[in-house]
Amino acid sequence: MHLERRVLITGGAGFLGSHLAERLLGEGCQVLCVDNFFTGTRRNIEHLIGHSGFELLRHDIAHPLYVEVDEIYNLACPASPVHYQRDPVQTTKTSVLGAINMLGLAKRLNARILQASTSEVYGDPHVHPQAEDYWGNVNPIGPRSCYDEGKRCAETLFFDYWRQHELQVKVARIFNTYGPRTHPNDGRVVSSFIVQALLNRDITVHGSGEQTRSFCYVDDMIDGLIKLMESPAEVTGPINLGNPAEFTILELARLVIELVGSRSRIVHRPLPEDDPRQRRPQVDRAREQLGWQATVPLREGVKRTIPYFESLVSQGLVQRVI
């Protein structure tokens, strides 16, 4: 008989997955990390290897998986445009076939399952801020569609397994999250700007930089995901998780330059196709149903993130930014 909760984290060697694994091990859970290392690395979890509660399995969740666990956090999926556009067909397979396999696994085990969905299901939103009952404005055939539509279809599958098989599902719509262990070369804006600033290279602002995002520090996000998993069965979501403080990309660039103490200049590059103009979560549902809200301001979170990238730069692990 097992006493500790056995938790499966797909995408456990990635940015969010590795922080979640660390937190759950600290709470006494057994953690099975499943990852195909498409964007994750062993470096993110090497400090966990050897821990008696930790297991690592190299596996692609687009294929069936037979293991025995009590809870599933389904985080596997490349998350940045640069990565998810590298092999768009594989991105859709990961979201859709991966969701089917993980839901099938949860059904066989009667396990709770949480889906890492995304604010991208709102696309380039016509409603601001975005509440969970907004259906979104997503281009079904554009370069971002493999990710956006894959995640939307995964949500559909989660709610159909809930209605049809009474599975205990939890769907989190995660808004832009940053912190140590974001991939240094995946083009996500906070990490890219920090690395550019540390190397005193130009800070590449796309378009005018007037587009907005709302950035959540990783520790807050992990709290929110765990609170959602542990919430009563009737709390299925979808539920927005994010920090509602909204910044323009230019404001972020200036903040990073100031906090790094960098000589970098701001330069402008073309705005990518379908780049959303604004994004801010409405977080009332998370506050009411989970008693959760983000607590780390952007300035503080960026300060906590800089040392991680300083260490990568000083070890010669990052010489350039894409």
105 binds ligand UDP (CB under 6 A): yes
State how far the alpha carbon of 271 is from the alpha carbons of 82, 274, 279, in Å.
14, 9, 16
Contact 240, 281 (CB under 8 A): yes
Q: Does 182 bind ligand UDP (CB under 6 A)?
A: no
Question: What would the x/- binding string for ligand NAD be over residues 65 to 84, using CB under 6 A?
Answer: ----------xxxxx-----
Distance in angstroms (rounded) separating the CA atoms of residues 171 and 166? 15
Site size for ligand UDP, by CB under 6 A?
A: 24
Pairing of strands 169-174, 112-118: parallel
Catalytic residue among 73, 84, 122, 147: 147
Half-sphere exposure of 186 (CA within 13 A, CB side): 21
Q: Which is nearer to ligand NAD, 28 or 37 (CB)?
A: 37
**Chosen from ligand UDP, ligand NAD, none, partner binding at 100 (C-beta under 5 to 8 Å by type):** ligand UDP
Q: Where are the alpha helices (DSSP H) in 138-272?
A: 145-165, 189-198, 218-229, 249-260
Does the annotation count 147 as an active-site position? yes
Q: Quick one: tokens of 109?
A: 């085990």
Asked whether the beta carbons of 243 and 300 are under 8 A apart, the reply is no
Query: What is the Cα–Cα distance from 217 to 297, expressed in whole angstroms?
Result: 8
By CB under 6 A, tell whether 129 contacts ligand NAD. no
Site for ligand NAD contains 94 (CB under 6 A): yes
Specify the amino acid at residue 12. Answer: G
Asked whether position 98 contacts ligand NAD by CB under 6 A, the answer is yes
Q: Which is nearer to ligand UDP, 23 or 159 (CB)?
A: 159
Q: Which is nearer to ligand NAD, 37 or 135 (CB)?
A: 37
Catalytic residue set: 147
- Which residues of the shown chain bind ligand NAD in the complex (CB under 6 A)? 10-11, 13-17, 35-40, 60-62, 75-79, 94, 98, 116, 118, 174, 176-177, 183
